[in-house]
A and B are shown apart, each in its own frame.
Chain A
Amino acid sequence: MATIIVDGLEVQIGDDERLNLIQVADRVHKPIPFYCWHPGLTVVASCRMCLVEVGTKNKETGKIDMLPRLVPACQTPAKDGTVVVTDSPKVRANQNFVQEGLLLDHPVDCPICDQAGECWLQDYYFNYGHKERRADVKPFTSQRRDLGPHVSLFADRCVMCSRCVRFTREVSGGGELMVIDRGHHAEIDVFEGFPIEDKMSGNVNDLCPVGALCSTDFLYQQRVWFMQPHDSVCTQCSTGCSVQLQTSHNELYRIQPRYNPNANDWWMCDIGRYENSHVRAPERINGIKRRQKDRWEDLNWSDGLKAVRDALQDAVNRHGGAKLAVVFSPFLTVEEAYLLALFAKHLSRHVVLTVGKIPVYPAGDEVFKSGFTIRAERAPNRRGVEEVLKHVEGKDSDWPMLLKKIDAGEITDVYVTANYPGSWIDDAEATVFEKVHTLIVQDMLPSKLARRADLIVPGVSSAEKGGSYVNHAGLIQSTEWALRPIEGAHTDGQTFCDLSGRKGLYSPADVLAEIAAVIPFFARAGDGVPEAGLNLVTGTEKKPATTALGTVTHPLPTFRSVASPMLEVIDVAGG
């Protein structure tokens, strides 16, 4: 147990903890400002913002020897007996001068800068800057230029922290970004003809503490203070990155990663970040529709549910349920899968339950230098749905097997849940369903299968529903809904509640508690799922480091941005 003294307060850190002085000071809520340091990147100590006074306390005599000069807190490991002073006049003066130096050339175009509101330069200026600016306000001299399809550079705003450069060299591994020119003329740039276009390029926009790198897709879409954050999980692949959906006026504007040492660390890929056009696609299915001879008949919600129930009941009456298959999409949450399974088994215990099509990216997993992986399995919850079905059904069944059974005439009626974010079924597979007597499709977008359906039920996107997903490693994470479903659609969980006659509003937390009591695999999730998730397979998971007072918070109350690492300071030994 090492003891470090921060501004006269004693901080105890564990023997296995390897922390720097910024992290230690944060435990006692003594903020040390910084730009270039990031817990996920190497230390360069180039911004000089975190300089503090450091000394050593002699254990025997109790005498404290201070170093005559200031040292960077990010580069100084916390050792037993280290003494830190974070707010002496000398330290304050340094912070003051660093701020002034950074702002000498800064255009101060906050009104048109997308970073305004979550800008470190802005926030630190209030706490550590001069009251007045002594330099002339210089107009902007460079225009926006693209460094890649998702990254815009405003060179004048840069503070040369080099986080983006280190990210491309250490995490994504592409090494596209570099610093060109020297000293005062230094600029971030790419080699000509080699733009930053790998699948992790969006992270450099989050990493940038100022408005120098902005997301081209989000550029000028919305001011950051208008957006509400919602904790969620990315559903584009089975890694299950923790993300934050940022919405305003029921529109999804931005997706940023949350720190989770069990899934994605600080990062996420551009697929999850930018490919979300399905959420508000104009062609979304917006009501229960029944096939008539030449057109689709719109049914109101209660009539529509009755039609679905009647169709399923009719199938059970015809063959006792043994030829009725219910297909569980890997995009359903654990709770929804459980409710649908109960409903199906309530119709008849012979009903065949099977996991739906698992979309697989043909090129396989994409692994980056840091180990971050975009899984080939492009579905968030195969494992969760399988575990539910394993318990309810007992037998193993998958999509190709179902197609064979339909082809052989062993299955004549099918209820398919889909909710895939893009086109998911080809003509060859859809043609198999010609042999089906009654086909009910619950989908978000009109797919090739939905066009063949007798009844279409609207599904919703993952942004519109709460629930839990189990990733490839068995990590269960819960999400909260961020958007209201589009008009005419209900959340899938509510639809299954209404179908099965379960009373009241659908509450994922209550259903999950019920599942945990019934299915042993989910037993650990009975008391709710913490932010960093629960690993249901290994039974242990890393927890983000916490202070005695609660979770690690950023020193500045305005710091809500997920790009801020202080929100989630990692326990280095554990990570």
Chain B
Amino acid sequence: MKTDDKSIKWVEEPQLGFAGRMYLTPFVDGLTTTIKHLFKVVQGDDFTTQFPEQRPTFGNALIYRGVHRLNKDEHNRVKCVACFLCATACPAHCIDIVGTEAPWEDREKYPQSFVIDELRCIFCGMCEEACPVDAIELTSLFDLTGASREEMIFDKEKLLSVYDMTKDQEPMKSAGHPAPARPVKGH
């Protein structure tokens, strides 16, 4: 870049006036807000959310990007087919899958293990977008806490239990369209 380029517009930081240099204006601004809130509380206006006793409300819980869950199919089996597309899409590399041949007649491949490192996850929702069978979804559980790092590494069982926990409040997005099962043909 050339500094004398005509297309560049140079902007200087404005000089502070006397009041500005005294920090008087921001000081008064800030204090005004405090005093306003003080009067509201005295009047009985309650605008503080008492978390965690009181839960915040969402506009649409279905599009919130919180803790992951692994959905189950109509036979209560994990819906995931271990295609690794979520792990491929994941920018934080927090998904680790081990795929193997499925023990069921009508399915070919399933995840032997499916682990998400929730501490590493950036909750971008790319895994959900990538999933071809809508097996992984993000729930509206946002207050994820744990006492150790190990506790925050969610394995397949834990992710499936998140599904059991949230399936009533947040139905599966593709609930109406079950994945086509393979008709078993004798050879």
Contacts and interface: CB of A to CB of B under 8 A. Distances in A.
Co-assembled chains A and B: yes
A333 to B, nearest CB: 34
B159 interface: no
B101 interface: yes
Given A144-B108, A219-B101, A112 B81 contact: yes
Given A140-B108, A220-B101, A220-B109, A145 B182 contact: no
Interface stretch (B8-16, B83-91, B120-128): B83-91
A139 B180 contact: yes
B82 interface: yes
A223 B182 contact: no
Interface in A310-369: none
Contacts of B55: none
Interface of B: 81-85, 88, 99-101, 105, 108-109, 132-133, 180-185, 187
B101 A112 contact: no
A220 B183 contact: no
Contact of B108 (A110, A143, A225): A143
B41 to A, nearest CB: 56
A109 B187 contact: no
A143 B182 CA distance: 9
Contacts of A220: 82, 99-101, 109
A371 B21 CA distance: 90
A551 interface: no
Interface in A111-146: 111-112, 116, 137, 139-145
B81, B83, B105: most-surrounded residue (chain A CB, <10 A): B83
Contact of A109 (B101, B108, B183, B184): B108
A112 B83 CA distance: 5
Interface in A205-228: 219-221, 223, 225-226
A111 B184 CA distance: 20
A499 to B, nearest CB: 39
A142 B187 contact: yes
B185 A141 contact: yes
Given A111-B85, A220-B82, A145 B108 contact: no
Interface size class of A (residues with CB under 8 A): 10 to 19
A223 B185 contact: no
A254 to B, nearest CB: 15
Nearest to A109: B108
Interface in A513-567: none
Contact of A112 (B105, B109, B183, B184): B109
Contacts of B99: 220-221
Contacts of B83: 110-112, 116, 223
Contacts of A219: 101
B185 A111 contact: no
Nearest to B180: A139
Given A111-B83, A223-B88, A139 B108 contact: no
Contacts of A109: 108
Contacts of A141: 182-183, 185
Given A111-B85, A141-B182, A143-B182, 10 more contacts: A112-B109, A141-B185, A142-B187, A143-B108, A143-B184, A143-B187, A223-B88, A225-B88, A226-B84, A226-B88
Interface of A: 109-112, 116, 137, 139-145, 219-221, 223, 225-226
A139 B183 contact: yes
Nearest to B130: A111
Contacts, number: 46
Contacts of A145: 187
Contact of A142 (B81, B84, B85, B185): B185
Nearest to A111: B83
A185 to B, nearest CB: 13
A144 B101 contact: yes
A112 B135 CA distance: 14
Given A111-B81, A111-B132, A220-B109, A139 B88 contact: no
A221 B84 CA distance: 11
Nearest to A114: B109
B100, B182, B183: most-surrounded residue (chain A CB, <10 A): B182
5 contacts: A112-B82, A141-B182, A219-B101, A221-B99, A223-B83
A22 B81 CA distance: 38
Nearest 8 Cβ contacts at the A-B interface: A111-B83, A112-B109, A220-B99, A139-B180, A223-B84, A140-B182, A111-B132, A112-B81
A144 B106 CA distance: 11
A477 to B, nearest CB: 33
Contacts of B100: 220
B108 A112 contact: yes
A144 B100 CA distance: 13
Contacts of A221: 99
A256 B46 CA distance: 69
B84, B85, B185: most-surrounded residue (chain A CB, <10 A): B84
B92 to A, nearest CB: 16
Contacts of B183: 139, 141
Contacts of A139: 180-183
A74 B105 CA distance: 41
A175 B85 CA distance: 38
A220 B97 CA distance: 11
Contacts of B182: 139-141, 143
A143 B183 CA distance: 10
Contacts of A112: 81-83, 108-109
A112 B179 CA distance: 13
A143 B102 CA distance: 11
A111 B133 contact: yes
